[in-house]
Chain A
Amino acid sequence: MLELKQITKVFNEGTVDEKVALQTINLTLAPGDFVTIIGSNGAGKSTMMNIISGRLFPDTGVVRINGKDVTAMKEHERARYIGRVFQDPLAGTAPHMTIEENLALAYNRTKRRTLKFGVTKQKRDFFRETLKTLHLGLENRLNAKVGMLSGGERQALSLLMATFTKPDLLLLDEHTAALDPARAALVTELTKEIVEKYQLTTLMVTHNMEQALRLGNRLIMMDRGQIIFEASGKEKQALTVERLLQEFQRIRGSQFASDRAVLG
């Protein structure tokens, strides 16, 4: 479904600020895989997500989605295959547009936009039904401006907008990190439900180890631009936070750099 081959990325090459963000990353996701990615700040998680989504382009290497080489494809073209939710709840929605208008915009992700009405009666019914699955009562507020919603509600809506068109690949970039614990738990639960319902191939970055262990069938640990540890299936189910930290220490021979990774 997703294939990363020999991806490297260097920022500010040849200057004092040179930073190797990714070093020969190889990663393959089978259809239906739900992979969680952990790693300290600066490990290259976000760079990898941005290279998959087309916001950044790799220096070398190939990105394939569904067997198709998309390495040179622009972000908005690639978005036909990809649904995304960002860390910032404000990033995934248009605040001055209503809930139904936002959903209509997301509905057109895989279609060519035309001069037909964005919100039709038929679509509105569909939106209402889909919103009900969030259990937040948003189905009764179709005409509310999204800017009036709380952070948790906006993130739940963003998640719905990214997924209800069944993308080939779902990218979640620390999408619960900016929410309070109760809201984060809610969005995590919704994520689980939705990914299972649509059988989405998913890549989720998180700082929360416990979340990384609880969700998905595969886990990846990144450090300094490399994938340093991988576990899947039964092996992943047997993992604990302590084991992960020990594993990191064994590989890197140092204490896990980020406090946030432990506390988060």
Chain B
Amino acid sequence: MLTAIFSAMEAGFIYAIMALGVYLSFRILDFPDLTVDGSFVTGAAVAAVLIINGTNPFFASAAALGAGFIAGAVTGLLHTKGKINPLLSGILMMIALYSINLRIMGRSNVPLLQQETVMTIITEAWKKTGIDNVLNSVIAFSGFQPRTWAIFITMALLAVVVKLLLDLLLKTEIGLALRATGDNQPMVSSFSANTDWLIIFGLGLSNALVAFSGALVAQYGGFSDVGMGIGMIVIGLASVIIGEALFGTRSIVRATLAVIGGAIVYRIILALALRVQFLETGDVKLITAVIVMIALIVPNIAAMHKEKRRKKRKMEEQARGEHVAGAQTDYESI
């Protein structure tokens, strides 16, 4: 049980970077960008192919980031310069990327098991620090001892660093214009910002994060597969929506933290769901969809119930008030 939750959290931090990318397009730019399903794999494919050809894994991951930026920017160009509807721009790019990803990999699956990756390098370097012994003795009471804390802690740090950089960016002059573009596009033009380029840049950045996350997932899982991006946008949305529902959205700083939290909670829910005897690995997408549905519907139902209770209380108060008034009238008439 604890092992499952531990690795769910590990994966959660890596997928959180993808979720931050989805947050940027979906919430900040108000652009439901389906490119994500393709660009996630593009990141994985670029990193995997570079790694098996002997490139430094860190450099390979950075290259994945760049590839994702290009993919997102093309979606932005389709929408702004090509005047194609946002959803359709994303879908077209997603389908185009499927073939491009196959071309990059040369086959449908590239294993990385014997390769040196970011994960193996971190794990090796970590062993020398001896932090594992300290942490393991701290949690010794639980009877659970993970193989290594390296991935867990470095990926958590990485997700937080990405979050902080995103927070900072959104506070800059360009960042303000980016946010306003998603909030009130005509107004941004009237203050001399070029919304076309802001959308292209924003989608580029969003997909850069998604592809970077894809590169890390490939190295974490030990393979890149052409189908690994299917439904990724829904997982991203699940993380964003769960995070917002659980942790709030009062400010950008809060919202991005919520997205990381949402990504982890999603992984944990999924890990626990898969432990149910009846469910199989193939049910993952169904479970994801159901999680998103619940996350979307439950807050509405809760709000409706609250409103109903409020009205009922008011009506009762009013009824009591009238009763008292009635009593007074009776009194006066006597």
Contact = CB atoms under 8 A, between A and B. Distances in A.
Nearest to A110: B192
A118 B187 contact: no
Interface residues of A, number: 34
B174 A113 contact: yes
Interface in A87-140: 90-97, 101-102, 104-106, 108-110, 113-119
A53 interface: yes
A94 B195 contact: no
B129 interface: no
Contacts of A101: 176, 179
A105 B174 contact: no
B20 interface: no
Given A97-B176, A97-B183, A108 B191 contact: yes
A109 B191 contact: yes
A166 interface: no
B180 A94 contact: yes
B190 A94 contact: no
Interface stretch (A18-26, A72-80, A177-185, A252-260): A72-80
A91 B187 contact: yes
B189 interface: yes
Contact of A105 (B169, B177, B195): B177
A45 to B, nearest CB: 18
Contact of B192 (A79, A96, A117, A161): A79
Contacts of A90: 184
Given A76-B193, A76-B195, A94-B180, A104 B173 contact: yes
Given A105-B177, A118-B171, A95 B183 contact: yes
A207 interface: no
Contacts of A116: 172-173
A175 interface: no
Contacts of A218: none
B191 A105 contact: yes
Interface string B176-215: 1101100110111111111100000000000000000000
Contacts of A96: 179, 183
A95 B182 CA distance: 11
A84 interface: yes
Contacts of B177: 105, 108, 113
B111 interface: no
A110 B183 CA distance: 21
Nearest to A84: B190
A202 B29 CA distance: 33
A91 B186 CA distance: 8
B231 interface: no
Contacts of B184: 90-91, 93-95
A94 B179 contact: yes
Contacts of B187: 91-94
Interface-central residue, A78, A80, A114, A117, by most chain B CB under 10 Å = A117
A94 B188 CA distance: 9
Contact of A114 (B174, B179, B194): B174
Contacts of B191: 79, 105-106, 108-109, 161
Given A93-B187, A94-B183, A95-B183, A77 B192 contact: yes
Contact of B176 (A76, A80, A104): A104
Contacts of B188: 76, 94, 105
A76 B194 contact: yes
A115 B172 contact: yes
Contacts of B173: 104, 108, 113-118
Interface string A199-242: 00000000000000000000000000000000000000000000
Contacts of B169: 115
Contacts of B190: 53, 75, 79, 82, 84, 92, 162
A91 B195 CA distance: 16
Contacts of A91: 184, 186-187
Interface-central residue, B171, B175, B183, B190, by most chain A CB under 10 Å = B190
A109 B183 contact: no
A115 B192 contact: no
Interface-central residue, A101, A105, A109, by most chain B CB under 10 Å = A105
Given A76-B195, A94-B184, A96-B183, A105 B176 contact: yes
Contacts of A53: 190
A245 B292 CA distance: 61
A30 to B, nearest CB: 24
B189 A75 contact: yes
Contacts of B186: 91
Contacts of B189: 75-76, 79
A105 B173 CA distance: 7
Contacts of A118: 171-173, 175-176
Interface string B136-180: 000000000000000000000000000000000101111111011
9 contacts: A76-B193, A84-B190, A90-B184, A92-B187, A94-B179, A109-B191, A115-B169, A117-B172, A118-B171
Interface of B: 169, 171-177, 179-180, 183-184, 186-195
Interface of A: 53, 75-80, 82, 84, 90-97, 101-102, 104-106, 108-110, 113-119, 161-162
Q: Which 4 A-B pairs have the closest CB atoms?
A: A79-B192, A94-B183, A113-B173, A118-B176
Given A101-B179, A105-B180, A115-B169, 5 more contacts: A76-B192, A77-B192, A79-B189, A94-B183, A108-B173
